[in-house]
Amino acid sequence: MDSTQVFSIGQHGLLMLLTVAAPLLLVVLVVGVLVSIFQAATQINEATLSFVPKLLAAVAVMAVAGPWMMTTLVDYLRSMLMSIATATG
């Protein structure tokens, strides 16, 4: 296994991480911005107010996109484990 294969596997792993984490992170980011705008408009300075909507949004995203995330990660792990035999020998 040469360095180009190692970098390619690392790049593919990081891309997979970004692909799987993006829906959750984007939804939590949008909910956080909306709550912050609401807090600025109403002048409510409660720190815990932003936590509950973000938590509910994260749970909703995991309920909707969780099976896709798990399938994607399992397929990636399966392909990486299968490629060990070809990479070493």
Measured between alpha carbons, how far is residue 5 from residues 57, 81, 83 in Å? 38, 15, 11
Mean pLDDT taken over the chain: 91
Question: 3 in a domain, yes or no?
Answer: no
Question: 41 in a domain, yes or no?
Answer: yes
- Structural domain count, the chain: 1
Q: pLDDT tens-digit profile of 11-69?
A: 999 999 999 999 999 999 999 999 999 999 998 888 888 899 999 999 999 999 999 99
Domain that holds residue 63: 20-88
Determine the Cα–Cα distance for residues 74 and 10; give it in Å rounded to an integer. 17
Entry pTM = 0.81
Question: 68 in a domain, yes or no?
Answer: yes
Question: 11 in a domain, yes or no?
Answer: no
Question: 67 in a domain, yes or no?
Answer: yes
Question: 7 in a domain, yes or no?
Answer: no
